[in-house]
Amino acid sequence: MGSGKTGTNYDAKSIVQCRAAMAKAKVLEKGVMVDCSHGNSQKNHRNQPVVARDVAAQVANGERLIRGLMIESNINEGKRLGRGGRLMR
């Protein structure tokens, strides 16, 4: 789950809403993977551990819909520039 247009979506309330939508669509067995970066970290990589800890606590407390986390990893923070100073994609 990446963040939605209305803010973050990794908290327990969001997971409950996700479960309801998945139950309605009959796809609960698929589970969800939560994105710790992008909007869920408010586009600040330093917030990823906050998201990860919250999700880990939910799993530790019995939440079984969550199957994994996506964590963005960079050796150095910031934009990646290629040859000629162009942003790498």
Buried/exposed 29-66: b ≥16 CB within 10 Å, e otherwise: eeebebbbbebbbeeebeebeebbebbeebeeeebebb
Q: What is the pTM of this model?
A: 0.79
**What span, in angstroms and rounded, lies between the C-alpha atoms of 81 and 58?**
38
Between 87 and 84, the more confident residue is: 84
Distances (CA, A) of 53 to 21, 33, 47, 56, 76: 24, 14, 10, 5, 22
Q: Is the pLDDT of residue 1 over 70?
A: no
For residue range 18-51, list pLDDT tens digits in order.
Answer: 999 999 999 999 999 999 998 999 988 899 999 9
For residue range 45-83, list pLDDT tens digits in order.
Answer: 899 999 999 999 999 999 999 999 999 887 667 666 777
Amino acid 65: pLDDT = 97
